[in-house]
């Protein structure tokens, strides 16, 4: 049996936004699109879980920004930590992997929007790569 945590707590830099992910994801997906790079300052590393699996423990400063038609991004209004991405009305939500408390026992399983990747790094970890988006892992 794995020692991996069954639930994953996390939060923002200042601690005002705290949450718990109650369903274990399959792994981390790194998004290389221009919006994620601007939102995170680099690649966006996310786990994808059902919305109901993200339980807010403290969200008084959680702010949502409509980043594109059909989607919004959640961040802490106090410290600016980037935390979430969600499509309108979809059953899933992406949680920034960097906002999770350690240890997570997660690994990167794929890279998406690699056609938008900037020129200053190479993807060399051997994980699956998709030029655009990809279907959710089975």
35-89 confidence digits (pLDDT tens): 999 999 999 999 999 999 999 998 999 999 999 999 999 999 999 999 999 999 9
80-126 confidence digits (pLDDT tens): 999 999 999 999 999 999 999 999 999 999 999 999 999 999 999 99
How many of the other CB atoms lie within 10 Å of CB of 23?
13
Q: What's the token pair of residue 1?
A: 């049996």
Q: What's the token pair of residue 56?
A: 């807010």
Q: Could you tell me if 104 and 65 are in contact, meaning their C-beta atoms sit under 8 angstroms apart?
A: no
Domains of the chain: 8-125 (2.170.150.70)
């Amino acid at each position: 049996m794995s020692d991996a945590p069954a639930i994953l707590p996390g939060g923002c830099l200042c601690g005002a936004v705290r949450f718990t992910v109650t369903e274990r994801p399959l792994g981390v997906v790194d998004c290389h699109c221009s919006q994620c790079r601007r939102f995170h300052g680099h690649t966006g590393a996310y786990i994808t879980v059902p919305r109901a699996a993200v339980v807010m423990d403290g969200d008084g400063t959680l702010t949502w920004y409509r980043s594109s038609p059909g989607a919004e991004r959640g961040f802490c209004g106090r410290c600016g930590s980037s935390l979430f991405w969600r499509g309108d009305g979809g059953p899933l939500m992406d949680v920034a992997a960097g906002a999770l408390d350690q240890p997570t026992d997660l690994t990167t399983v794929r890279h998406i929007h690699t056609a938008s990747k900037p020129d200053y790094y190479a993807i060399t970890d051997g994980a699956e790569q998709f030029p655009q988006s990809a279907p959710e892992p089975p």
